[in-house]
Amino acid sequence: MKRIFFIAAIFMIIFQSCKNNTNPNLDWVTAEEPKTIKSNLALPSQAQMDWQDMEQTMFICLDPCTWEGVEQGNHTYPIEKMNPSKLDVNQWIDAAEAFGAKMVLFVAKHSSGFCWWQTDTSEYSVKNTAYKDGQGDVLKELSDACKARGMKLGIYVYPGDLTYGAYLGGAGRTKDPNMQEAYNKVYRQQWEEVLSRYGEATEIWFDGNCIIPLEDIKEKYAPNAIVFGSSMANIRWVGNERGIAPYPAWNSVKKEDGATGMATAAHGDPNGDLWMPLEVNTTLKDHYWFWSPENEGKLKSMDNLMECYYKSVGRGGLFLLNSAPDTTGLIPQADMKLYKQLGDEIRKRFSKSIKETSGKGWLVELDLGKETQIDHVITMEDITYGERVRRYAIDGTTDGKNWFKIVEGISIGHKRIDKFDPVHVTKIRFRSLEQAAEPIIRKLAVYFVNDPKDYNRFNSTKDDYGRDYSTGVSKEYLDLKEIGTIEQFHFEGEKQRFKIDLSSHIDRPGLYELFVSNDEDKNPNKPSNVSLFLQGVETPGFSKVDRVFSRIELNITAHPTMEENSIMVEFDLADNISSEKVYLRKVVYK
């Protein structure tokens, strides 16, 4: 009997030596060479890499609609009364610096057409306000302050313009086709003014695409600028205004998708041949871009903002957070306080790692020198050489011999922040599971944050919905609405064509799907010949048919006014079944 107990004791000692009892339920692993898959490797430009390194930037949204109390200006407030007398561009930069932004993106002209610089193209501009007796030039003030303080400047000039009848969401198209050539000249002059007078812009924004040719002006005055929207675009909109990128979030797309100027996260393709990283934008107030007395108190929580950080920067995207000065020209103090809280929290977590390294190859080890508790790992690829990792794991060990898997993921790209339950390790390692070429790891760093909140909702080998990674992007559908039966929407005189006013059903920009079926999304009727009408004008490029799943995909980029007939869709159906129902839903990422 004693011999049996002795053997059992020896067995337990050996068994315990193979594991760390401070890390229960471990998934023990052995390192096997990864699968190398044949793939394109899109490469970024230096400007794109510099842009991705900023990681956080800040919108500045101030417009007559701030005085009007709306999100899209309507020319109802007399601009001669506008006087943001306390306007302080240095306070705006203070806000950006507070949460770690490296660039401010100023809305120099929004959809109403109001210009914050001394333009020769429009009377609807700062020169006809009470601000500095009409002599003010806010874009110049901001440009000068940015140069003095080392803050990068981006410029937003909306392609549409209510003053000239270039309608909301129309990418610069005028309602009256006879006005198009004249407006093209106006818009080209506006961009020539802002790019030639205020120094080279780091980023230029064509919100919702742009059909007006501007390549020559951009190349002359801002050859290295990052471009959002238009055929010149070299970054993508994530596809929502929630501040959340999907996971995995690939940096490349197919060239034909990138050339549309409308590519979103949905077009991400690890085998794409064009580098086009993601810009992930959201508001500080839920969900308002411009200040008003009614929305002043609707600030997002710190938990919400930290979740945005983890799901934008932590998934390899750039986080673009809004600011909204009030009618005095200042950002409200409550907003300033929240920016500082956000920046303090990010810096507390990630300003200094416990230890970090870099390396090349499918295995990269980081020796911590002693047993250490960790709950975050940040991994960065050197994207100079493309996004090479297709699937990876982070392993840990306490004895240097027996390794257990801490977390597994797919894309890394510029940066991946992995958050997990605390573990004790003496070493960690990056381990490539699938790769397009030999990984080049710019940074492998460990942290101990010790926060029980799970901002990333990340669980080992599952995606953010608890599904195996093989299912792909963390996509989900929200707010499924039954619009009505299809027979309600017959296009007059055409048996198989239908017309639906979606204006009252779409309240925010984003990606939407429309489909016709007897049983929600099962066996939908096949649509074709889709046309989207914005503000009563047929607007190509913002809708298409998913022929695999028989859905109409809508890309709504402008903040909807919800006015009748402002968003309408026409389409044909393969079968005319009058009892079928029409459904609309949002496409979101979690």
Confidence of residue 61 (pLDDT cuts 50, 70, 90): very high
Any domain includes 49: no
| pLDDT number for residue 471 | 36
pLDDT of the residue at 472: 41
Same-domain pairing of 117 and 215: yes
> pLDDT class for 451, splitting at 50, 70, 90?
confident
pLDDT band at 492 (very low <50, low <70, confident <90, very high): confident
Q: Return d(Cα 381, Cα 32) in angstroms, integer.
A: 21
Mean pLDDT (whole number) for 104-113 = 98
| Contact call for residues 118 and 125 (beta carbons, < 8 A) | yes
Instruction: Read off the pTM.
Output: 0.92
Report whether pLDDT(475) > 80.
Answer: no
Please check whether residue 152 is in contact with residue 54, taking contact to mean a CB–CB distance below 8 angstroms: yes
What digits encode the pLDDT tens for the residues 25-44?
Answer: 788 999 999 999 988 899 99
Quick one: CA torsion of 326, 332, 334, 335, rounded to 10 degrees? 80
Per-residue pLDDT, 468: 43
Q: How far is CA 328 from the centre of its chain?
A: 30
- Which pLDDT score is estimated for 6? 45
How many domains does the chain divide into? 3
Considering the domain architecture, whether residues 267 and 175 belong to the same structural domain is answered as yes
Whether residue 10 lies inside any domain: the answer is no
Per-residue confidence (pLDDT) for residue 341, from 0 to 100: 98
Give the model's confidence band at 474: pLDDT under 50 very low, under 70 low, under 90 confident, else very high. low
> What CATH number corresponds to the domain at position 256?
3.20.20.80
Pair (151, 234) in one structural domain: yes
pLDDT at residue number 587: 85
The pLDDT of residue 476: 62
Pick from 320, 346, 311: nearest CA to 463: 311
pLDDT of residue 95: 98
- CB-based contacts of 177: which residues, under 8 Å, 6+ apart? none
From 350, 370, 402, the end of a domain falls on 350
Look at 225-229, 235-239, 494-498 and tell me which has the smallest mean pLDDT.
494-498
Question: Looking at the structure, do residues 453 and 467 belong to the same domain, yes or no?
Answer: yes
Q: How large is the average pLDDT for residues 419-430?
A: 96
In a domain, residue 46? The reply is no
pLDDT (0 to 100) of residue 455? 59
The pLDDT value recorded for residue 344 is 98
DSSP state of 252: E
Q: CA-CA distance, 581 to 424, in Å (whole number)?
A: 55
Amino acid 25: pLDDT: 74
**232 and 175 in one domain?**
yes
Instruction: Give the pLDDT band of residue 576 (cuts 50, 70, 90).
Output: confident
Mean pLDDT of 517-545: 92
φ/ψ of residue 321, rounded to 5: -105, 140
Percent of the chain with pLDDT over 70: 92
Tell me phi and psi for residue 308, to 5 degrees. Answer: -60, -40
Across residues 128-145, what is the average pLDDT? Answer: 98
pLDDT at 578 over 90: no
Q: Is residue 3 part of a domain?
A: no
Among 350, 375, 391, the domain-final residue is: 350
Rounded Cα distance between 419 and 307, Å, is 12
Can you tell me the mean pLDDT for 447-461?
A: 66
Q: Do 383 and 250 reside in the same domain of the chain?
A: no
Band (pLDDT 50/70/90 cuts) for residue 16 is very low
The letter for the amino acid at 357 is: T
**470 pLDDT more than 70:** no
Average pLDDT over residues 299-318: 96
Name the residue with higher pLDDT: 10 or 43.
43
pLDDT, average across residues 110-131: 98
Q: Determine, yes or no, domain membership for 527.
A: yes
Confidence of residue 465 (pLDDT cuts 50, 70, 90): very low
Domain end marker among 437, 471, 505: 471
C-alpha to C-alpha distance for 154 and 59, rounded to whole angstroms: 9
Average pLDDT of the chain, as a whole number: 91
Q: Is the pLDDT of residue 19 over 50?
A: no
Instruction: Say how many residues make up the chain.
Output: 590
Judge if 427 and 527 occupy the same domain.
no
Residue span of the structural domain in which 518 resides: 475-589
Q: Specify whether 66 is located in the same domain as 29.
A: no
Task: Say which range, 148-162, 374-388, 432-446, 449-463, has the weakest mean pLDDT.
Answer: 449-463
Q: Tell which residue, 552, 511, 508, 537, has the closest CA to residue 168.
A: 537
Residue with token string 């903040």? 559
Q: Is residue 220 part of a domain?
A: yes
- For residue 413, the domain's CATH number is 2.60.120.260
Question: Given a cut of 70, is residue 243 above it in pLDDT?
Answer: yes
Which residues face 152 on adjacent strands? Answer: 103
Q: For residue range 383-396, what is the model confidence (pLDDT) as tens digits?
A: 999 999 999 999 99
For position 477, what pLDDT does the model report?
67
- Asked if 306 and 367 sit in the same domain, the reply is no
Among 99-103, 169-173, 528-532, 559-563, the range scoring the smallest mean pLDDT is 559-563
Evaluated on CA atoms 238, 243, 248, 252, the torsion sign reads: positive
Residues 579 and 497 in one domain: yes
Same domain, 115 and 237: yes
The band of 179, judged by pLDDT with boundaries at 50, 70 and 90, is very high
Q: How far apart are CA 510 and CA 425, in angstroms?
A: 43
Residue 13 in any domain: the answer is: no
Q: Mind listing the pLDDT tens digit for each residue in 365-418?
A: 999 999 999 999 999 999 999 999 999 999 999 999 999 999 999 999 999 999
**Quick one: 179 and 302 in the same domain?**
yes
Residue 16 belongs to some domain of the structure: no
CATH number of the domain residue 544 falls in: 2.60.120
